[in-house]
Structure 1
Amino acid sequence: MKTASFFSLLIVVQAIVQSAWGADLAPSGVDAWRVGTPMVTYWAGPALTDAVAQQMAEGGFNVVWCSEQQLDTAQRHGLRAQLSDGLLRPATLDDPAAREKLDALIARVRNHPAMYSYFITDEPSAGAFPPLGKLVAYLRQRDPAHMAYINLFPTYANNQQLGTSGDTVTAYREHLRQYVDIVRPALISYDHYQFAKNGDNGQYFLNLAMIRQASLDARLPFLNIVQACTWTPSMRVPTGDEMTYLVYTTLAYGAQGISYYVYCHPGHTGAIALPDGTPTLIYHALKSLNREFTAIAGQLQPLRSLAVYHLGMKPDGTVPLPPDAPFRLEPAVPDMEYRVPERVRGFVLGYFGQANEPTHVVVVNLDYKAEATTTVIGPGRLELFDAISSAWQPAAGARAELKLPPGGGRLLRLAR
């Protein structure tokens, strides 16, 4: 009788919970969301037709934005889908009728093979974090296998936009802290657009460094949204070599996702495709770069970003290479004065490994206007990763000579 009464009580409690929230919870045993294949996506794209999906797949994109009706299109082309729907907003939870519709939407899409994430909002102020946190928790409870996606402001947002106070670093760090603590996201995503007509924004690496640290502290992956267009006379359209620089610096700092602003959108010039669907020069550059990103980030996924060091110019937020660094460059790279808005020149070394032992390094040529030749010296025999073939190749012992294209990089590791 006690056992029967206990189970009867459980049934009553479950019924109360389901009545209060309007839908069954996710089935037990459903795995929590994981990145899986490193994310390559975009912002502001066209409606997902078969022709668009094919172009995106051929371009190396693997996460697309779509409606519920377009999930099948994504699946046909082997793409993961980020669902966009007007019900995916905090106000829905305060309206019983709208919440019931949201519950029905979740029930319909959570088992779809293409489903990957839910788009929630872009660049919220800290004051919006509590209701966003409730919505993220609501979605996670009902569909833990699919991420609730929110994108954050860059460092150059003002205090009113961020909803925090202080200088650039203080306000932004507090914005990130509140976001992680209150919203409890599965991923940290942000945007930063640095290519202006008169030069480069000086906070690109500061922003990367702060996002990297927040992601490490929270043990969350992060995604970087980078510039692929101009939308105002003060900004410029990036070149293919500048896109290479954005991809490889993002890798060196440990991102598991990259996104491009924009794919195609009115009022934006450059981008990845024209309004009639014609691919741009940026699209053709990204066809290879996207696959390189996926291959290298996939190799780094089981590892932890241990350090990022800059040689040559050192913008705000960067750290110089210590004298006893296990991976170093020859010849030694001299310090160079950096002044905004000039382009950064020198190298980045991103260290990766398990525990605190660096076993992998991403080396990036920061000059997106010139090739660079250097030699990596490691603490043991080295191997180089070919991002095109996804194969490791032996180097000449503990030395590896690199000829890096403008803005390009290579992944190396200690031989196994």
Structure 2
Amino acid sequence: MPIMAYHSFTPQTTNLYNFKKFKEAGFNINYTVFKTNEQLQLALDLAQKANIKILAYSDELITNTENTVLRFRNHPALYGYFIADEPSSKDFNRVKNLIELIKKLDSKHIVYTNLFPNYATKSLLGDLDYEDYVSLFLKQVNADLLSFDFYPIVNNQIRKSWYQNLEIIKNISQEFNKPFWAYACSTIHYDYKKPTLGGLKLQQFSNLLYGAKGLEYFTYITMDDEYWKKHNYSYSIVYNNGKPTPTYSLVKAVNEQVKRLSWVFLQSKVDSVFHIGDSIPIGTKRMNFLPKKFKKFKTFEKRALVSFMSGKNGRFVIIQNKDMFRSMPFNYQVTTGVSIIDNNTGKINKTTSKEIINNIPPGDILIFNYQ
């Protein structure tokens, strides 16, 4: 599964040691804003040695596109090209033309654009409603994938429109048959607090339960220029010298779990998603039925997300604890033929048909599988 970090390094911290630490944290795609192609060349060469890929950006990719693409298109560490972040709909034609130019020169690698979240103002979106903004992007731009940056945990509370945003992205990505990637916030800034294990799991597993085929983090390195200092950016995954912060081990644990379970998410499609609890988010559906193959399915009115998926490995019922601080009691009883996917190994384990009460850790998931 693609796992990418935004602002991975600065030119000053682009070295082999830092690339190896990046890989050890579970990342396989590096994105850094470089000014020159010489800086990008060094990063690609080091990434090749560390066995990771680069989502390439340099200022020269925009100002001297043809020469830049011709220079790097055959590099073994190239994953694709990053050309636009949070474009307005008024920028879509420019993005479209740039993608077409790059694709004429290199049809093998993706061209990546990242869209606004639904809490962006209409003026930022180009005077469109959010759903129209996303749809227009895929209608107008020959995009390889859909990416958006929603940071859902503010002052340790979930933004009210997060799951509505995921609903829109899921529906439109299925309509246009385009995969989507989604973000987790992994740094303190503004009203975003210090990352926690439960909060990171809540973000990334919710993304996966809605169908994400790639995960992203903002940011990897702690940015330290005047703008970032002013807004208190801190406790990113590594410090500004590339050394791990306490967040590093949390992200590593999440990424390792995602990799163990990635066969479930990469090889399945989302059939439906529901919410449980005393209240459900706007734009979502309440689950008011007993799932097939279950005799009991109770969360004691605690808030949970339930995703129904299917693929060549069978059908999956996945439940997530939406509390980022407390475990959730879950009472279930299954019929014969239902297995559980072990979170620690990713392997399929047989389960009993007896009634069980399980405690799902903060932000975590429990996966059931049957044919």
Q: TM-score range by the shorter chain?
A: 0.7 to 0.9
5 Å-filtered alignment, 1:330-369, equals 330=296, 332-333=298-299, 345-354=302-311, 359-369=315-325
Q: Does 1:74 align with 2:47?
A: yes
The question of whether the paired residues in 2 share the 8 Å contact of 1:240 and 1:281 is answered with: no
> Is 1:390 aligned to residue 346 of structure 2?
yes
Aligned pairs for 1:362-381 (under 5 A) are: 362-377=318-333, 380-381=336-337
1:374 offset after TM fit, Å?
Answer: 1.5
Q: Percent identity, please.
A: 22
1:139 counterpart residue number:
102
* Superposition deviation, residue 277 in structure 1: 2.5
| Correspondence for 2:172 among 186, 189, 214 | 214
* Amino acid aligned to 1:362: I
Tell me the equivalent position of 2:20.
54
Native 8 Å contact 1:226 1:261 kept in 2: yes
Give the alignment partner of residue 286 of structure 1, picking from 248, 251, 261: 251
The offset of 1:198, in angstroms, is 7.1
Are 1:366 and 1:406, in contact at CA under 8 Å, matched by a contact in 2?
A: yes
Q: Which residue of 1 aligns with 2:264?
A: 299
Number of the residue aligned with 2:37: none
CA contact (8 A) 2:326 2:361 kept: yes
Deviations 1:247-300 (A, max 9, x none): 221121111111111112122122111123231222111112112223323322
TM-score, normalised to structure 1, is 0.79
Asked if 2 retains the 8 angstrom alpha-carbon contact of 1:110 and 1:143, the reply is yes
Corresponding residue of 2:287: 321
1:89-119 per-position Cα deviation (integer Å, ceiling 9, x unaligned): 3xx5xxxxx3xxx333323322222111101
Q: Deviation of residue 391 (structure 1)?
A: 1.6
Instruction: Name the CA distance, whole Å, in 2 between partners of 1:407 and 1:40.
Output: 19
Deviation at 1:142, TM superposition (A): 2.5
Deviation larger for 135-144 or 78-87: 135-144
Structure 1 residues 311 and 74: CA distance shift in structure 2, 3 A: same
Q: Which has the greater radius of gyration? A: 1
**Structure 1 residue runs without a partner (length 5+):** 1-37, 93-97, 166-170, 336-344
Whether the aligned pair in 2 keeps the contact of 1:296 and 1:411 (CA below 8 Å) is no
Q: 1:136-166: per-residue Cα shift (whole Å, max 9, x none)? A: 122223222211111110110000000133x
**1:118-138 deviation line (CA, Å, top 9, x unaligned):** 011110000000111121122
Q: Residue 386 of structure 1 aligns to which amino acid in structure 2? A: D
Change (3 A) 1:379 1:198: closer
* Separation in 1, partners of 2:218, 2:159: 16
Paired residues for 1:146-161 under 5 Å: 146-161=109-124
The 5 A counterparts of 1:225-240 are 225-232=183-190, 234-240=191-197
Q: 1:328 to 1:260 in 2, by over 3 A?
A: farther
The answer (yes or no) to whether the contact 1:43–1:263 under 8 Å persists in 2 is yes
**CA distance in structure 1 between the partners assigned to 2:17 and 2:242 by the alignment:** 9
Q: Distance in 1 between matches of 2:248 and 2:112?
A: 24
Q: Please report how far the alpha carbon of residue 347 of structure 1 lies from its aligned counterpart in structure 2 after TM superposition.
A: 1.2
Matching residue of 1:246:
203
CA–CA distance in structure 2, aligned partners of residues 111 and 327 of structure 1: 50
Residue identity opposite 2:9 in structure 1? P
Name the aligned partner's letter for residue 159 of structure 2. Answer: N
In 2: Cα distance, 1:64 partner to 1:327 partner: 42
- Work out the CA distance in 1 between the residues paired with 2:358 and 2:103: 45
The residue number in structure 2 matching 1:191 is: 149
Let me know the Cα RMSD of the aligned residues: 2.3
Q: Tell me how far apart the structure 1 counterparts of residues 70 and 24 of structure 2 sit (CA, whole Å).
A: 31
SS at match of 2:130: helix
